[in-house]
Amino acid sequence: MNAFNLRGTWAIFTRELMRAFRTAFQSILSPVLTTSLYFIVFGSAIGSRMPALGGVDYAAFIIPGLLMLTLLGETTSNASFGIYMPRFTGTIYELLSAPVGVAETLIGFVGAAAMKSLILATIILFTASFFVDYHIAHPLLAVGFIVLVSSSFSLFGFILGIWADSFEKLGIIPMLILMPLTFLGGTFYSIEMLPHPWDKIAMANPIVYLVNGLRWTFYGASDVSIGTSLGLTMGFLAICVAIIAFIFRTGWRLRE
């Protein structure tokens, strides 16, 4: 049995993390500026005319949704680009020939994605404090849920980066599928506000469970129970791990 390659894991982790800092404007500042505009428009301009939702001020109510909107897009895009570029330049063979297994590779990529997400979430929450007063009812659970979601979508982005054979395909799913689903996933409203049958149809959107899971950690109440949100997110993570293990075992797209 081969020993765990801690040095290889650390090398992948630091490379991916440093890549985010080298492109700090795109990876960190740009999402923060975009989220600040959402707070100004929806939180201040529109929020002052909106009633409280579940006893929570509207401007505070949308914070978990905006945070999830940014994290899903950035985590998926960063992870997909991180594995696509080595394939595009041909340096993927260095990774495949290195004494680094699937577990070390995934821990390095996912660990870096989770760390970037926590840094980004911290900056966004700090920025939000300038626009609205809010509190986090379960801070440790909120951190754990953010790490779980960012890890899951880092793996999803990893799969996307292996599947894509062009820069155009690299952006199709984040822009044309993931972002619309997030906007329709209760980011700016409660599912209970939707008329029948749209409230039932909305529950088929998987992003609803992510947004509401994070909202529960903030305010202790949401449209979906935290247990359901955690269970579905962990199930999605397990599926992504299984797919990536299959990819590395068969070499699909990696050795083409």
pLDDT tens-digit readout, 63-105 = 999 999 989 988 898 888 888 888 888 877 777 787 888 888 8
Which tens digits make up the pLDDT trace of 159-184? 999 999 888 888 888 888 999 999 89
Crossing angle of helices 6-22/63-89, nearest 10°?
A: 110
> What is the number of structural domains in the chain?
1
Which two tokens mark 4?
A: 């765990």
Domain holding 78, by residue range, is 6-250
pTM above 0.95, yes or no: no
* 8 A C-beta contact, residue 190 and residue 53: yes
In a domain, 208, yes or no: yes
- Binned at pLDDT 50, 70 and 90, residue 256 comes out as low
